[in-house]
Structure 1
Amino acid sequence: MKIDFQKIKELNDYINTFKNEKLISVYSQIDKDFELKFTHESTKIEGNTLSIFEVKTILEDGYSVAGKELREIYEVINNKNAFEFIKEMIKKGDELTEEKIKDIHEIVVQNIFQGGIYRNVNVKITGASFSPPEFTKVREEMKNFIFDYENNKKNLNPIELASFTHAEFVRIHPFNDGNGRTSRLLMNYCLMKNGFKPISINPEERNKYYEFLDFYGKNKNMRSLKDFITFLIEKEYKILLEYEKEIEFLKDNEIEKEIEF
């Protein structure tokens, strides 16, 4: 699974040359399709039962879905809103702080329970071989998390930074609930802020994904998670390369139309 970062960086730089003002609608659709997939998969990993078609009905068509709990509906709406929030953060040049993380979490759990408040109880992660720090240490752990994040920005490449941010946040588990969804948003914030495309984790790979997070939580070693994220980035880029064929076809057609006109 190990993939050289330089190879991914070169592929990323190539992907970033795709954009063309005449084809902005194509790229907008690509982004829209990804956000739908990310929202569906990130919530499904946590047990949400809405199908991709139901998520689309809620987010794009603006309709509710009969027979589903309001919590599940709010989860997908909130995840979409939180993704928009981190995109706006990047646009404004906002850095990651404790307050911004609390804001993200508050959006993730809006209309479900009060978010943005660190837990005041000890928690266990089902199936994990490590225990998150005691609740009395969460504030200190989060301050250290931001301190380490700032240092790691200077020393790690963007994929390593995203891996550390995701894994360390999960290890701390600062909130009562919503940590997984928040951590995947933070991961994508790190990737997008550094010019990389965001990724989504297929729920079918949940066991492997949890295993990598658990390995970090137990050993403070992010190697396996980093390799997994790198693999997913390459996978996402292969999808974009397929789109390139369609885009090049559209470009050729536009050129022909201009000549004919």
Structure 2
Amino acid sequence: MKSLLKNAREQKGLKTREVSQMLGIDQALISKFESGTRKPTREQISKLSQLLEIDYESLMTAWLKEKILYEIGNEEFALKALLLAEQEIQNNSKQINTILLTSIQGILDEIDTLKNQMESFNHFELRQISKTLELEFIFKNIYFNSNSLTLEETKSVINDGLTIAGKSMQEHMEAINFHETILYIKDLVQKKTALNEKEFLFVHHLIFKGTSANSSGKFKNDTLIVREMNLLFNWYETHKNNLHPIILASETYLKILDINPFENGNIQMATLILNWILLQNNYTYISVKADIKSVNEYFSVLEESKNQNDTFIFINYILELEKENLYRALELASK
């Protein structure tokens, strides 16, 4: 933990005195945290995590590990006690997850019923629905990024290769890049490619190809970012077969935003990876509606979920979006 704190502070170019002033923690304590001679409180961990932009989960894990070692590290039966504690924690966690899943089981069942209806369509119908939903998905996402292309203009740029008068080349490139990225992700889904660093970085490169050449496809210059992303990929592999796909996708989304691995495009990346996971499991695209009210609602839900440290606030929001999009898919099939 001491290395995490010191490295993060130095990478932000802060002195212990400045950290002390910003957080209201005595400077001598900051130095002792970094030397390992004193341990922060849980409240101090939260403050340090936010200021130094350290993943809260990683910092808390390091803090708890040191706390456990301090308490029982030299005890003769420490390992046996830890094994028993691990079993009890896992049992408690299963009970909590069961309660949470029960609270959302109704909407999960509704979503799966709608999904089964959609899967009953023939190949031609599914292809037409998918094509329409893709274009709407691209339009919604570039709108979210303040692109002024309308839905019809987005269709013309992508389907017909037209240039729209009065719209910047940057806006055209955003639409084209997003379309190419979706095609690439669909190819990954078809090949059943696992989520990994190589593809994650390449997807980011595709989004910003020709627009942000210096930073596209590259993590921030921060060794902690690489470590946290590797933890994310490991977490994903561990949970991909025991979490409901929409819950898995939602939690992956939140973890990407928490890590904030790129100089720009973190929300776009989180959205694309969320949809990569959904497409792998035969769900429809999820995106925020292209209007100010919906965008504001998204940020409000995200903030509430973070402030209350409750991922299920955001998961419920994503479930509602998926249900709406499945109804949209069925609506398209009836036309």
Give me the TM-score of the superposition, normalised by structure 2: 0.64
* Aligned equivalents of 2:204, 2:131: Cα separation in 1: 22
- Find out whether 1:6 has 2:109 as its counterpart: yes
Taking a change above 3 Å as real, the CA distance of residues 11 and 202 of structure 1, as seen in their structure-2 partners, is same
Alignment identity in percent? Answer: 27
> Is the contact between residue 278 and residue 285 of structure 2 (CA under 8 Å) also seen in structure 1?
yes
Amino acid at match of 2:114: L
Between the aligned partners of 1:68 and 1:138, the Cα distance in structure 2 is 36
- The one-letter code sitting in structure 2 at the alignment partner of 1:42 is N
Residues 80 and 196 from structure 1, CA distance in 2 versus in 1: closer, same or farther, beyond 3 angstroms? same
One-letter amino acid matched to 1:157: H
What residue identity is the alignment partner of 1:4? I
Which has the larger displacement, 207-216 or 135-144? 207-216
Q: Which residue among 98, 101, 108 is the counterpart of 2:197?
A: 98
Instruction: Indicate the SS of the match to 2:334.
Output: helix
Whole-angstrom CA distance in 2 between matches of 1:244 and 1:38: 17
Whether 1:231 and 2:320 are equivalent positions in the alignment is: yes
**Counterpart amino acid of residue 267 in structure 2:** G
Match of 2:218 among 89, 114, 117: 117
TM superposition shift of 1:162: 1.0
Q: Note the C-alpha offset of 1:55.
A: 0.9
Q: How many residues align?
A: 228
1:218, distance to aligned residue in structure 2 (A) = 4.6
Shift of 1:29: 2.4
8 Å Cα contact 1:37/1:200 also seen in 2: no
Is contact 2:178–2:207 with CA below 8 Å preserved after alignment?
Answer: yes
Q: Gaps spanning 5+ residues in structure 1: where?
A: 121-134, 247-261
How far apart in 1 are the matches of 2:183 and 2:173? 15
Residue 145 (structure 1) aligned to one of 212, 226, 232: 232
- Give, in whole Å, the separation in 2 of the partners of 1:44 and 1:113: 18
Alignment CA distance shift 1:186-1:229 (3 Å): same
Bigger-Rg structure (1/2): 2
**CA–CA distance in structure 2, aligned partners of residues 56 and 139 of structure 1:** 37
Query: Which runs of 5 or more structure 2 residues have no equivalent in the other structure?
Result: 1-102
Q: CA deviation at 1:181?
A: 1.4
2:265 equivalent to 1:178: yes
Indicate the larger mover: 217-226 or 93-102. 217-226
Query: 1:46 maps to which residue?
Result: 145
Superposition deviation, residue 216 in structure 1 = 4.2
1:70-117 C-alpha deviation (Å, 9 max, x unpaired): 211111111111111110001011110011100100000000123110
CA–CA distance in structure 2, aligned partners of residues 97 and 16 of structure 1? 28
Alignment of 1:4-83 (within 5 A): 4-20=107-123, 24=124, 26-83=125-182
Whether the aligned pair in 1 keeps the contact of 2:253 and 2:274 (CA below 8 Å) is: yes
Rounded to whole Å, the distance in 1 between the matches of 2:316 and 2:189 is 25
Q: Distance in 1 between matches of 2:185 and 2:304?
A: 27
Aligned equivalents of 2:231 and 2:309: distance in 1?
14
Q: Which has the higher contact order (CA 8 A, sep 6+)?
A: 1
TM-aligned CA deviation for residue 236 of structure 1: 1.4
Aligned to 2:302: 213
TM-score when scaled to structure 1?
0.81
Cα RMSD between the aligned structures?
1.9
- Determine if contact 2:129/2:333 at 8 Å carries over to the other structure: no
Are residues 216 and 138 of structure 1, via their aligned partners in 2, closer, same or farther at CA, if it must alter by over 3 Å? Answer: farther
Q: SS where residue 264 of structure 2 aligns?
A: coil
Give 1:126's aligned residue.
none
Structure 1 residues 155 and 212 mapped into 2: Cα distance closer, same or farther (>3 Å)? farther
Measure how far apart 1:11 and its partner are: 2.2
Is the 1:170–1:213 contact (alpha carbons within 8 Å) kept by the matching residues of 2? no
